[in-house]
């Protein structure tokens, strides 16, 4: 065993830590050395902070550059989020921009979209953008503004999403703008909006170090939020009385570290949550003092449908009810009924109730796609809040119902900027005339410019392509033709060529395959950016490298198209107010404009939230910190909202106030009566198995970036179908053999994995969707939650055939 | 560029420019009034109806904002039908100066099988890291290793560099025992680093179909 050397220690530690390390400390170390022979440190790097490009955790990384090229990536020790650690994807960031098939020139389709090998010709930016602008103008003129659609994501930087929203709603006068966050977080948003009147979690990541119990509802955090899982792991190992319960429909890696894994039938989480509430009431653990002051009860519509029909509409009808009526409603969810619906035992229900009901246990509920991608996703979000409200375990350190986001800026961009058809920045909505007027004033555009009616949410948007209503569709920072459910219908629709498709991307994808124009796009370190993570933390980075070839940022593309539409004034700010900084590498958008475009957009954007509980700090502060959690009032971030002790928006003496509901319920949260209702499609004789889809640790979304990283691709080359060993015997398939998974909508071929990381129960197959060679979304069902309009990617009925 | 085999010829540029000329004409005729063009104070009649229903074209008089960079357009030789002309110019015989680009996605080029190594722990050869600061790979089978609160087989072998059958497991580095804030070194692994598989992953044995 080699003696540890200072050089080796530096290699595995962060620069900032090393700067203060003492050699005396090191000389005492007897632990084994770490370095492999021949692994040399890279000399002469310049280190800068930049948030990770992948999940909603919001880890900060330190990126080491030399001669304009990224040579190293490390966890940022100064980040309160990840504290110097990174997961395997984070290290893979080094290679995401360097794939040899990087798009570097604007391309215009020269053949038909149905051509098996479509051909393109290189174009100048002027030609490509003129064509894009012409098609937008023509579609608007002939078919109305709603026929002009933009599809973005929670991977837009904040100012990109803001610019897109301003251009669409305030310029083109179209509300046809949606992010793929609709597939990811819409149920969380609708849950927050219906219960608290205001989006995003009240707590923060500091809760991890305060909680004594963690209940995961449909969230495989060990793979999907690994650096937050590291904090839960730490808490569990240090405070050994801490309990982790993994609620899931298939055993997974998170379950390995859990103290208890509870497997339930798909969709039955609704019954379990109501069952817990019932037990809390029966045990006498309701915190009536908290409830009387801070909550009201409401009943909404039942039997609300599944959004399977085109032009599906839903309107809630809510009425006030009493606590007694609520108690009677949940009393139907006895342990026996819950067991019948969900398969969990009365003992398991009792164990779950224990962590919520015991006044001495601080409990965090954590959830992601299992709860959100659910045809009753909004209801399930409501039901988790119900439990926390009943016992008053909310908005205090460690007591935290916490909705985790999937994308790096699902919160910062999609939700806070409001790049949805019905929204405006800072929780404002287009349907409210006051909100529209407020936005029109900030944007300095005539009153009445912003259309009042939402047009298409994401699923309706692609259905409208199929119906011939959407004639122009522009995708940025997303890959819609790999990620929509029931893809066959929508791919066929696009191939009919009456909708002009523009794809801004970094690599060839399933979406660029269907594009009339492909715009090569700058990404991550090639532009200045801002993301907002799961805990309301807004964090910034500066541009560090140049984009290859002709690639330009999404922001630059949006502004250049705006100019061609005669809407350049939307992005014309004062060069004297927002001068460029000498010595700073400014983005293409700023260089083109001759002023600091990102700063100008930010300072305008933050006017939306100032003074009404969405306060964001001045631009420069974010470049100086590792991010701040909004509302940022007088330079101070807010850790726990709605709690007087931490939140300046709670009036003195009230203790708690859910002020998002000030107008509706005088600042009280709403406990909703939400029932168990079955999913729209269940296994039957013809299609006897459940299909569940999801992600894997090593890949991000559709794999566009991570499959270009050698270490990640070789760690998980292809999507597999995980099935139970008994199902494998029944179907006479072995590990590694190929099967065909077929639903009523389509099929795909995939290799069987038995005993992999995800271990479904009998009767279920799990297929991740990152792999463009395994197009599982040809199989999935495009049913959605009627309230949030979020697709349920977790449940549909399939059959499996062995391929000989 | 690796993915673009041939650069456009003068001919295609000409076609491109003719398309562009068409584009500019269309753009001029179909544009909308600029809501920001003049004073923000709107006349009620000028304000578009706040509705999502289709609007008729209104024929604006300023198609391009003053900030628009004028597009330099060469004299087009002719204006072919954009939907057919480019195809017609690519006769199979014209391969040497094929002006068109076929997008080649490197990840779709060739299937890489999921053939992870079956090599037992202790028998694997070290793999070269992605870059010097990246975590090392697991050069052995990990699929049957479960990490629970009670047992962590990765740590059992790698703690201190366990020696088995003549080979020594790569030791867990000092950084993994160092408190990030106090810099105190402990005898216990930093509990945040307990989930080894969040960073240390196996690799398939086949080489990638493209150069790294």
Is A185 one of the annotated active-site residues of the chain? yes
- Flag if B47 and A448 touch (Cβ within 8 Å): yes
Residue that terminates a domain, selected from B104, B128, B163: B104
Average the pLDDT over B23-49 and give the result: 37
Chain A residues close to B202, C-beta within 8 Å: 715
- Flag if B210 and A100 touch (Cβ within 8 Å): yes
- Flag if B185 and A445 touch (Cβ within 8 Å): no
Q: Which residue has the higher pLDDT, A746 or B82?
A: A746
Q: Which domain holds residue B180?
A: 114-212
Q: State whether B15 and B76 are in the same domain.
A: yes
Q: In the numeric block, which tokens belong to residue A665?
A: 């319920």
* Residue A535, C-beta contacts closer than 8 angstroms, at least 6 positions apart: A58, A81, A201, A203, A204, A205, A629
As a whole number of angstroms, the distance between CA A611 and CA A74 comes to 37
Chain B residues close to A566, C-beta within 8 Å: 31-34, 37, 60, 62-65
Determine which of B15, B42, B170, B178 to mutate to test the interface with A (most A C-beta atoms within 10 Å).
Answer: B178
- Flag if B134 and A94 touch (Cβ within 8 Å): yes
Chain B residues close to A170, C-beta within 8 Å: 35
pLDDT at B72 over 60: no
pLDDT at B43 over 70: no
Q: State whether B51 and B127 are in the same domain.
A: no
Average the pLDDT over A711-732 and give the result: 94
As a whole number of angstroms, the distance between CA B202 and CA B212 comes to 17
What is the model's pLDDT at position A98?
A: 93
What is the model's pLDDT at position A800?
A: 97
Average the pLDDT over A222-235 and give the result: 97
What is the model's pLDDT at position B80?
A: 40
Residue A529 exposure: Cα atoms within 13 Å on the Cβ side: 27
Is A655 one of the annotated active-site residues of the chain? no
Residue that terminates a domain, selected from B104, B123, B147: B104
Cβ(A208)–Cβ(A182) below 8 Å: no
As a whole number of angstroms, the distance between CA A65 and CA A543 comes to 12
Is A293 one of the annotated active-site residues of the chain? no
- Flag if B130 and A175 touch (Cβ within 8 Å): no
Q: Per residue, what are the HEC states of A330-369?
A: HHCCCHHHHHHHHCCCHHHHHHHHHHHHCCCCCEEEEECH
Minimum-distance CB partner of B63 among A84, A145, A566: A566
As a whole number of angstroms, the distance between CA A639 and CA A632 comes to 10
Q: Would B146 be classed as within a structural domain?
A: yes
Q: State whether B70 and B132 are in the same domain.
A: no
Min Cα separation B43/chain A (Å):
8
As a whole number of angstroms, the distance between CA A411 and CA A415 comes to 5
Min Cα separation B193/chain A (Å):
7
Q: Which of A108-117, A599-608, B46-55 has the lowest mean pLDDT?
A: B46-55
Average the pLDDT over A226-236 and give the result: 97
Min Cα separation A22/chain B (Å):
9
- Flag if A131 and B19 touch (Cβ within 8 Å): yes
Q: State whether B98 and B5 are in the same domain.
A: yes
Confidence of residue B59 (pLDDT cuts 50, 70, 90): very low
Interface of A with B in 400-429 (CB under 8 A): none
Q: State whether B7 and B91 are in the same domain.
A: yes
pLDDT at A656 over 80: yes
Q: pLDDT by residue (tens digit) across A571-596?
A: 999 999 999 999 999 999 999 999 99
What is the model's pLDDT at position B144?
A: 80
H-run or E-run covering A159: helix A158-165
Q: Does A200 touch chain B (CB under 8 A)?
A: no
Q: pLDDT by residue (tens digit) across A430-478?
A: 999 999 999 999 999 999 999 999 999 999 999 999 999 999 999 999 9
Chain A residues close to B171, C-beta within 8 Å: 1, 31-34
pLDDT at A546 over 80: yes
As a whole number of angstroms, the distance between CA A236 and CA A240 comes to 6
What is the model's pLDDT at position B18?
A: 39
Residue that terminates a domain, selected from B83, B104, B125: B104
Average confidence score pLDDT of chain A: 94
Cβ(B160)–Cβ(B171) below 8 Å: yes
Chain B residues close to A505, C-beta within 8 Å: none
Cβ(A62)–Cβ(A682) below 8 Å: no
- Flag if B16 and A508 touch (Cβ within 8 Å): no
Q: pLDDT by residue (tens digit) across A281-292?
A: 999 999 999 999
| CA-based radius of gyration for chain B | 32
Chain B residues close to A134, C-beta within 8 Å: 23-24, 26-27, 30
What is the model's pLDDT at position A393?
A: 98
Q: State whether B141 and B180 are in the same domain.
A: yes
Q: Per residue, what are the HEC states of A594-610?
A: CCCHHHHHHHHHHHHCC
- Flag if A452 and B104 touch (Cβ within 8 Å): no
Confidence of residue A224 (pLDDT cuts 50, 70, 90): very high
- Flag if A233 and B27 touch (Cβ within 8 Å): no
Is A692 one of the annotated active-site residues of the chain? no
Give CA angle at A484 (A53, A180), nearest 5°.
Answer: 40
Describe the strand order of the beta sheet including A529-532 as a list of residue ranges.
A529-532, A537-541, A628-629
- Flag if A446 and B147 touch (Cβ within 8 Å): no
What is the model's pLDDT at position B170?
A: 85
Average the pLDDT over B26-30 and give the result: 35
Q: State whether B66 and B118 are in the same domain.
A: no
As a whole number of angstroms, the distance between CA A688 and CA A801 comes to 12
From A185, A247, A364, A597, active-site residue: A185
pLDDT at A657 over 50: yes
Q: Which residue has the higher pLDDT, B86 or B212?
A: B212
Interface of A with B in 323-342 (CB under 8 A): none
Q: Domains (ranges, CATH) in chain A?
A: 6-95 (3.30.200.210), 107-175+410-533+537-629 (3.40.50.740), 187-406+667-673 (3.40.228.10), 689-780 (2.40.40.20)
Q: What is the dihedral of CA A658, A671, A213, B176, to 10 degrees?
A: -50
Determine which of B31, B94, B153 to mutate to test the interface with A (most A C-beta atoms within 10 Å).
Answer: B31
Chain A residues close to B193, C-beta within 8 Å: 85, 230
Confidence of residue B38 (pLDDT cuts 50, 70, 90): very low
What is the model's pLDDT at position B116?
A: 80
As a whole number of angstroms, the distance between CA A732 and CA A76 comes to 49
pLDDT at B13 over 60: no
Interface of A with B in 750-789 (CB under 8 A): 751, 753, 755-756, 772-773
What is the model's pLDDT at position A536?
A: 98
- Flag if B185 and A4 touch (Cβ within 8 Å): no
Average the pLDDT over A620-626 and give the result: 97
Q: Does A603 touch chain B (CB under 8 A)?
A: no
- Flag if B170 and A256 touch (Cβ within 8 Å): no
Quote ipTM for the complex. Answer: 0.91
Q: State whether B57 and B152 are in the same domain.
A: no
Q: Which of A636-645, B145-154, B176-185 has the lowest mean pLDDT?
A: B176-185
Q: Does A720 touch chain B (CB under 8 A)?
A: yes
- Flag if B105 and A84 touch (Cβ within 8 Å): no
Q: Does A24 touch chain B (CB under 8 A)?
A: no
Average the pLDDT over A671-684 and give the result: 98
Minimum-distance CB partner of B180 among A84, A451, A455: A84
As a whole number of angstroms, the distance between CA A214 and CA A208 comes to 9
Q: In the numeric block, which tokens belong to residue A336?
A: 């026996």
Q: State whether B124 and B90 are in the same domain.
A: no
* Residue A745, C-beta contacts closer than 8 angstroms, at least 6 positions apart: A486, A488, A489, A778, A779, A780, A781
Q: Would B109 be classed as within a structural domain?
A: no
Minimum-distance CB partner of A119 among B56, B102, B135: B102
Q: pLDDT by residue (tens digit) across A92-106?
A: 999 999 999 999 999
Percentage of the residues of chain A whose pLDDT score is greater than 70: 95
Q: State whether B90 and B121 are in the same domain.
A: no
Confidence of residue A29 (pLDDT cuts 50, 70, 90): very low
Q: What is the dihedral of CA A762, A768, A774, A775, to 10 degrees?
A: 100
H-run or E-run covering A725: helix A725-731
The count of domains in chain B is 2
Average the pLDDT over A689-715 and give the result: 96
Min Cα separation B170/chain A (Å):
7
Chain B residues close to A121, C-beta within 8 Å: 8, 12, 15-16, 86, 99-101
Q: pLDDT by residue (tens digit) across A311-331?
A: 999 999 999 999 999 999 999
Is A406 one of the annotated active-site residues of the chain? yes
Chain A residues close to B67, C-beta within 8 Å: 563, 568, 572
Helix, strand, coil percentages (3-state) for chain A, rounded to 5, are: 35, 20, 45
Is A136 one of the annotated active-site residues of the chain? no
What is the model's pLDDT at position B161?
A: 66
Q: State whether B133 and B208 are in the same domain.
A: yes
Min Cα separation B75/chain A (Å):
14
pLDDT at A90 over 80: yes
Q: State whether B2 and B100 are in the same domain.
A: yes
As a whole number of angstroms, the distance between CA A245 and CA A263 comes to 11
Give Cα separations from A18 to A12, A23, A29, A51, A63 (angstroms): 10, 10, 15, 21, 16
Q: Is the peptide bond before A631 cis (omega within 30 degrees of 0)?
A: yes
| CA nearest neighbour of A508 among A175, A103, A95 | A103
């Amino acid at each position: 065993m080699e003696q540890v050397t200072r050089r080796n220690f530096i290699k595995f530690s962060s620069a900032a830590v090393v700067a203060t390390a003492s050699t005396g400390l090191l000389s005492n170390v007897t632990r084994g050395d770490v370095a492999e022979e021949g692994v040399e440190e890279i000399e002469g790097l310049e280190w800068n902070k930049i948030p990770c490009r992948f999940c909603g955790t919001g880890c900060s990384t330190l990126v080491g550059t030399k001669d304009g090229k990224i040579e190293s990536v490390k966890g940022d020790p100064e980040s309160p989020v990840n504290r110097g650690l990174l997961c395997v994807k984070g290290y893979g960031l080094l290679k995401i921009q360097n794939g040899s098939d990087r798009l570097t020139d604007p391309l215009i389709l020269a053949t038909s979209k149905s051509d098996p090998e479509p051909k393109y010709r290189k174009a100048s930016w002027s030609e490509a953008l003129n064509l894009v602008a012409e098609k937008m103008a023509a579609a608007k003129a002939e078919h109305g503004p709603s026929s002009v659609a933009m599809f973005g994501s929670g991977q837009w930087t904040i100012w990109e999403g803001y610019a897109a929203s301003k251009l669409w709603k305030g310029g083109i006068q179209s509300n046809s703008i949606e992010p793929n966050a609709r597939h990811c977080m819409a149920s969380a948003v609708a849950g927050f909006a219906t219960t608290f009147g205001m989006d995003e979690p009240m707590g923060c990541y500091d809760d991890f170090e305060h909680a004594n119990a963690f209940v995961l509802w449909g969230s495989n955090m060990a793979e999907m939020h690994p650096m937050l899982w590291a904090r839960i792991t730490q808490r569990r190992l240090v405070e050994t009385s801490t309990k982790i319960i993994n609620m899931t429909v298939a055993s997974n890696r998170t379950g390995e570290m859990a103290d208890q894994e509870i497997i339930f039938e798909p969709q039955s989480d609704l019954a379990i949550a109501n069952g817990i509430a019932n037990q809390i009431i029966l045990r006498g653990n309701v915190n009536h003092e908290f409830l009387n002051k801070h909550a009201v009860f409401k009943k909404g519509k039942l039997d609300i449908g599944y959004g399977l029909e085109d032009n599906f509409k839903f309107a809630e009808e809510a009425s006030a009810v009493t606590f007694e009526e609520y108690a009677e409603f949940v009393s139907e969810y006895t342990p026996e009924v819950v067991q019948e619906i969900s398969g969990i035992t009365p003992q398991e229900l009792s164990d779950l109730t224990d962590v919520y009901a015991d006044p001495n246990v601080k409990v965090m509920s954590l959830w992601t796609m299992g709860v959100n991608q659910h045809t009753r996703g909004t209801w399930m979000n409501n039901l988790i809040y119900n439990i926390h409200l009943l016992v008053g375990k909310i908005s205090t350190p460690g007591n935290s119902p916490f909705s985790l986001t999937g994308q790096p800026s699902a919160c910062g961009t999609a939700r806070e900027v409001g790049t949805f058809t019905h929204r405006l920045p800072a929780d404002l909505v287009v349907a409210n005339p006051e909100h529209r007027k407020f936005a029109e004033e900030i944007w300095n555009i005539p009153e009445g410019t912003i259309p009042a009616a939402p047009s298409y949410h994401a699923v309706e948007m692609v259905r409208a392509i199929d119906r011939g209503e959407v004639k122009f569709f522009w995708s940025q920072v997303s890959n819609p033709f790999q990620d929509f459910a029931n893809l066959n219908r929508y791919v066929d629709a696009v191939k009919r060529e009456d909708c002009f498709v523009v794809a801004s991307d970094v690599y060839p994808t399933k979406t660029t395959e269907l594009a009339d124009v492909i715009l090569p796009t700058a990404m991550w370190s090639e532009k200045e950016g801002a993301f907002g993570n799961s805990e309301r933390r807004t964090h910034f980075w500066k541009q560090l490298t140049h984009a290859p070839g002709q690639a330009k940022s999404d922001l630059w593309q949006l502004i250049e198209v705006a100019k061609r539409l005669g809407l350049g004034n939307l992005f014309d700010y004062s060069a004297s107010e927002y001068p460029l900084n000498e010595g700073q590498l400014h983005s293409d958008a700023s260089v083109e404009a001759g002023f600091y475009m990102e700063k100008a957009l930010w300072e305008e954007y933050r006017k939306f939230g100032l003074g009404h509980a969405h306060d964001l700090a001045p631009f420069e502060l974010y470049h100086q910190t590792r991010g701040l959690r909004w509302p940022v009032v007088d330079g101070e971030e807010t850790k726990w909202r709605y709690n007087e002790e931490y939140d300046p928006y709670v009036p003195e003496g009230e203790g708690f106030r859910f002020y998002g509901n000030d107008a509706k319920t005088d600042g009280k949260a709403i406990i909703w009566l939400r029932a168990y209702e079955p999913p729209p499609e269940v296994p039957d004789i013809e299609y006897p198995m459940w299909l569940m889809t999801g992600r894997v640790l090593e890949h991000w979304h559709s794999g566009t970036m991570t499959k270009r990283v050698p270490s990640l691709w070789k760690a998980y080359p292809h999507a597999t179908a995980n099935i139970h060993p008994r199902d494998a015997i029944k179907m006479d398939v072995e590990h590694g053999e190929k099967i065909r998974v077929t639903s009523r909508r389509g099929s795909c071929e995939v290799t069987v994995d038995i005993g992999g990381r995800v271990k479904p129960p009998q009767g279920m197959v799990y297929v991740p969707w990152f792999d463009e060679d395994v197009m599982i979304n040809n199989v999935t069902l495009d049913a959605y939650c009627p309230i949030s309009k979020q697709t349920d990617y977790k449940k549909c009925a399939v059959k499996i055939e062995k391929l000989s | 560029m690796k993915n673009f085999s041939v650069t456009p010829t003068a001919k295609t540029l000409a076609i491109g420019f003719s398309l562009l000329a068409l584009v500019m004409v269309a753009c001029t005729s179909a544009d909308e009034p600029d809501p920001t063009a003049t004073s923000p104070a709107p006349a009620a009649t000028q304000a578009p109806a706040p509705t999502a229903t289709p609007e008729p074209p209104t024929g604006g008089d300023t198609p391009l904002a003053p900030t628009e960079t004028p597009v330099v357009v060469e004299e087009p030789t002719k204006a072919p039908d954009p939907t057919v002309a480019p195809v017609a110019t690519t006769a199979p015989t014209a391969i040497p100066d094929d002006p068109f680009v076929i997008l080649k996605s490197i990840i779709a080029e060739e299937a890489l099988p999921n053939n992870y190594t079956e090599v037992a722990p202790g028998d694997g050869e070290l793999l070269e890291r992605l870059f010097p600061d990246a975590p090392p790979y697991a050069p052995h089978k990990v699929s049957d290793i479960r990490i629970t609160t009670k047992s962590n087989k990765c740590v059992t072998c790698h703690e201190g560099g366990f020696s088995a059958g003549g080979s020594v497991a790569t030791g867990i580095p000092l950084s993994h025992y160092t408190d990030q804030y106090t810099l105190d070194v402990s005898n216990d692994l930093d509990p945040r680093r307990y989930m080894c598989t969040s960073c240390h992953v196996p690799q398939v044995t086949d080489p990638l179909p493209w150069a790294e």
